[in-house]
Structure 1
Amino acid sequence: MKALRDPVVLLAAPAVLYLTLLYALPLGWLLAKSFSGPAGLTLQPYTEFFGDPFNWRVIGNTLGSALWVTVVCLAIGYPAGFALARAGTAMQIAMLVAIILPLSVGVVVKAFAWQIVLRRDGVVSQFLVALGIWDEPQRLLFTEAGLVLGAANIFLPFMILPIYSVVKLIDPRLSEAGATLGATPSYRFVRITFPLTLPGVVSGVAFVFSMSVSMYVIPSLLIGDRFQTLSTLTGRSFLFMRNEQLGSTTAVILLALAIAVVVASSWLARRLGSTE
């Protein structure tokens, strides 16, 4: 009883109540619904889901698109994080504004903007034709490549900022010390710089992958219904098919994937931190 009268506990009470009402109770309802059947608790919804080859293709689409988005964000965000950390004060402020300001724009607005960019007469198609990669303009909208490009653009700040926060703490003199001992630039990067940036890389990958695996608006607008993911299948189950059990089952599977990514990244980050 004494602990309940602690002022810190009282300060946390509104947040606990808010999360309980708007998160824990709906989540509990989803879990119960996914395991319920005419005779009570059952695993039949999951056995039926995993017994359908179409659902395995949906899982493959979900994981594949999330993986490609994460790879693209890492390839662009890793050097961008270094550039941001090593830039001068004025340039760093300008880069931070350019990275953070787009976060104030809604995902729906960004997805609609990418619909214009990825059209046959859009900027990307015209640019690739100008480079000589394509002989004539082609449509990237409603393709997997267009989905990856649009999603990577939206989630890129969540890769850059964790890497930047770690690189900012690395002493540049470490690389210089390696150079005085005769280490080549590639050797210094592999043995000194990259291991020190791994916590930021792990955090960025966890952020981007967990958001990519559960994105709903972006694939709905950029690729349509022909490319189903777990999130779009969940939405269709609740909104169109009125199949609450299927929607609950796919939502729980999607939640399990997201939790697995977060737990694995936390374990890896702690392991990397303990070896430093």
Structure 2
Amino acid sequence: MEIVIIGVGNMGGAVLSGLLKAGHAPESVTAVVRREERAAEIASTYGVRSLPAEAAVAAADVVVLGVKPYGVVPVLESVKDSLRPGTLVVSLAAGITTAQMEAAVPDGVDVVRVMPNTPALIGQGMSVLAAGAHCRAEALATAEELMGAVGEVVTVPESSVDAAGALSGSGPAYVFLVAEALIEAGVHLGLTRADATTLVTQTLVGSSQLLADTGTHPALLREQVTSPGGTTAASLRVFEERGLRAAFLEATRANRDRSRELAAD
């Protein structure tokens, strides 16, 4: 399978690294980048060649778009004549619908939209996939395998992509904000910043792993930490009084709505 990655930034680079770690041969992957120095860096780091977009796409079975949202349709239009029926196009950009992509490619080209997240950089990503209206089942399976190289995969109807992205796509930012706030709180309580950072980081890592490994509902795990009238209960009471749940609901709704606005624009 010949794979072309157009735009090897954070997400494109994460997919490239994940594919190679999953066993794809470097000679089966081609990068398309703008700068010669970036092409040289990719060749040195990954052993992957770089080619102009049209030449690369003409031989591709799978084309991964790692460009910004505003670049997705222009890139597809620029390589339209090189895309063959049966080629799979996978976009990693937020807000661009499969309908918009399908309108820019020839008939017979399969289109899949992906909402990844930054933990893909360490192989712990969460990717949300949605197939285009004319995407074949085998093409969707290929996209799922492709993104499985950098973490977990969930496939949803496209109507649910914006909502799912509000959780996983932007979710790392919420986690980092919580970490930042807890570290600052520790400093205010008299801990050194280094100690507070270690305490918070490992607590988040361990708690997430416990949730993932046990499959236990988070409410039950929370209750296991919370003794009636104890210290944790005192903290949680403040979060409830300050409307933490409502804030998350409002934030994720705003995220979903903004994604829809980007698509409309």
RCO comparison, higher one (Cα < 8 Å, 6+): 1
Question: Normalising by structure 1, what TM-score?
Answer: 0.27
Question: Normalising by structure 2, what TM-score?
Answer: 0.28
Bigger Rg, structure 1 or 2: 1
The structure carrying a bigger helix percent of its residues is 1
The structure carrying a bigger strand percent of its residues is 2
